[in-house]
Amino acid sequence: MSNVNADRMVQDDWWPKPVPPNVHFGAGFYCESAQIFRHFRSGDPRALVLGEHVSCYSGCSFALGERGTCSVGDFSLLNGAIIMAEERVEIGSHCLISWNVGIADSDFHPLAAAERRMDAEALAPFFQNRPPRPALRVAPVVIGDNVWIGMGALILKGVTIGENSVVAAGAVVTKPVPRNVVVGGNPAVVIKEIRA
Ligand SMILES: CC(C)(COP(=O)(O)OP(=O)(O)OC[C@H]1O[C@@H](n2cnc3c(N)ncnc32)[C@H](O)[C@@H]1OP(=O)(O)O)[C@@H](O)C(=O)NCCC(=O)NCCS
C-alpha cells in the first residue's frame, strides 16, 4: 500500500508531475507531495531507493545532481529535510529527520577565489562565454540506523553518524559522530551518551 498511484502520481496532489521513474520505493511509502522532487536531476537508474514504510512530508527536497544517488532505510521519516547529493547520501532505517535539516555531500563551490569567480560565471545561464564549472569536491554522507536529527541541523560532506545517535537542534556537524551519543553546537561536539 502507498499513496502513490500506479501512474506514479501522488493521490490528491497539487503538484502536476509524477514521482520520477528512477525513484524506487517499498510498500507503505507515504509521499505528501511529488514536489519534493522539484530539484531532482539525477539520471542514475536507481537514483533514489526508499525502503518500506518511508514517510516524506512536503517540506523535503531530494536535490540530487546529475549523478547523485540516495538511499533511505525502512520506517525512516523525513519531515522537512533537504538532501543535496552530487554523489551519495545514505540514510539508515528508523531515522527521524526534522524540519529545515540540510544534508549535503559537497560544498558545491570551490574555496579558491579565482575558481569561485569562474564558477559564478559558469552558473550564469545567459552569459555567452560561460566557462566550464571547476570540479566539485564530494564526500559521501552516511547516517546510521535509528538516528534522530533535530530541527535546523546541518550535516556536511563526509560525515558519518553512528546508529542510535541524536543530532540536537541547530547543530552543524562537520566530523564523524559515534554511535549512541547526542551531539550539538557549531561545530557539533558530543553533549552526552545515550542508552542503546
Ligand atoms: C537533543 C535534545 C533532544 C536533547 O534533549 P535533552 O536530553 O533534554 O538535553 P538537555 O536539555 O538535558 O541538555 C543537555 C545539555 O546539552 C545542551 N543542549 C541541549 N540542546 C542543545 C542544542 N540544540 N545545541 C547545543 N547544546 C544543546 C544543554 O544546554 C545542556 O548543556 P549542559 O549540560 O552544559 O547544561 C534536545 O536538546 C533537542 O535538540 N531538541 C530538539 C528536538 C527537535 O528538533 N525536535 C523536532 C521534532 S523531530
What is the per-residue pLDDT across 105-148, written as a single tens digit (0 to 9) for each? Answer: 999 999 999 999 999 999 999 999 999 999 999 999 999 999 99
**Residue 109 falls in the annotated catalytic set:** yes
Task: Decide: 42 and 65 in contact? Cβ < 8 Å.
Answer: yes
Rounded percentage of the chain residues whose pLDDT exceeds 90: 99
The residue-averaged pLDDT of 155-181 equals: 98
pLDDT of the residue at 188: 98
CATH topology of domain 23-105+140-193: UDP N-Acetylglucosamine Acyltransferase; domain 1 (2.160.10)
Q: Which of 116, 136, 118 is nearest to 65 (CA)?
A: 136
Separation of alpha carbons 90 and 97, rounded Å: 13
N residues, the chain: 196
pTM: 0.95
pLDDT tier for residue 51 given thresholds of 50, 70 and 90 = very high
pLDDT of the residue at 126: 97
Nearest protein CA to atom 16 of ligand 1, as residue: 191
Residue 196 has pLDDT above 80, yes or no: no
DSSP assignment of 151-196, as one string? TT-EE-TT-EE-TT-EE-TT-EE-S-B-SSEEEETTTTEEEEE---
For residue 55, CA distances in Å to 4, 67, 121, 135 come to 12, 24, 38, 34
Task: Decide: 65 and 113 in contact? Cβ < 8 Å.
Answer: no
pLDDT tier for residue 77 given thresholds of 50, 70 and 90 = very high
Nearest protein CA to atom 8 of ligand 1, as residue: 168
Ligand 1 mutation pick, 79, 100, 182, max ligand atoms within 8 A of CB: 182
> What ranges make up the beta strands (E) of 22-140?
23-25, 30-31, 48-50, 55-56, 61-64, 69-72, 77-85, 88-91, 96-104
pLDDT of the residue at 195: 85
pLDDT digits (tens, 9 = 90+) for 139-151: 999 999 999 999 9
Residue 46 has pLDDT above 80, yes or no: yes
Residue 68 has pLDDT above 90, yes or no: yes
The residue-averaged pLDDT of 13-37 equals: 98
